[in-house]
Amino acid sequence: MTVGQADAEPASPAAGWDRCPAGNFCIFDGPDGTGGMAWFRSGSADLRGQGMDNRTTSYWNRSSSTFTMYDGYNYTGEDACITANSGPWTITGHYDNVASSVRATPGRTCPL
């Protein structure tokens, strides 16, 4: 294999965070925007439908609404609040691989 200029080009933007469409809330299977991804404008009561149940390891809220992730289906269980237009973040605590539903919660103010 010849090492040429092409090898010095950056990885495809489609491999990471940049896949997240502006205006959406995105979740990723892997850290730093890697792996499988799902994106939402309003949410999902059951992340099995997106193949992302108990898999969220990183996320990015590119929407103008607060979003909330939940351990249980149908917006139940322990929740995690994500401020509008914040991130991207990789989860390093116990909430890794926990989220089972997610929705926009525009009236909510996240605690600091």
Applying CB under 5 A, the span of 1-9, 40-48, 61-69, 92-100 interacting with Ca ion comes to 92-100
Instruction: Find all residues with CB under 8 Å of 33, minimum gap 6, and list them.
Output: 16, 17, 18, 19, 20, 26, 58, 60, 88
Total residues at interface with Ca ion (CB under 5 A): 3
Distance CA 56, CA 84 (A): 18
Q: By C-beta, is 35 or 77 nearer to Ca ion? A: 77
Identity of the residue, 38 or 84, whose beta carbon is nearer to Ca ion in the bound complex: 38
Q: 29, 31, 45, 71: which one contacts Ca ion (CB under 5 A)?
A: 71
Q: How far is it, in rounded angstroms, from Cα 28 to Cα 112?
A: 23
Interface residues with Ca ion (CB under 5 A)? 54, 71, 100
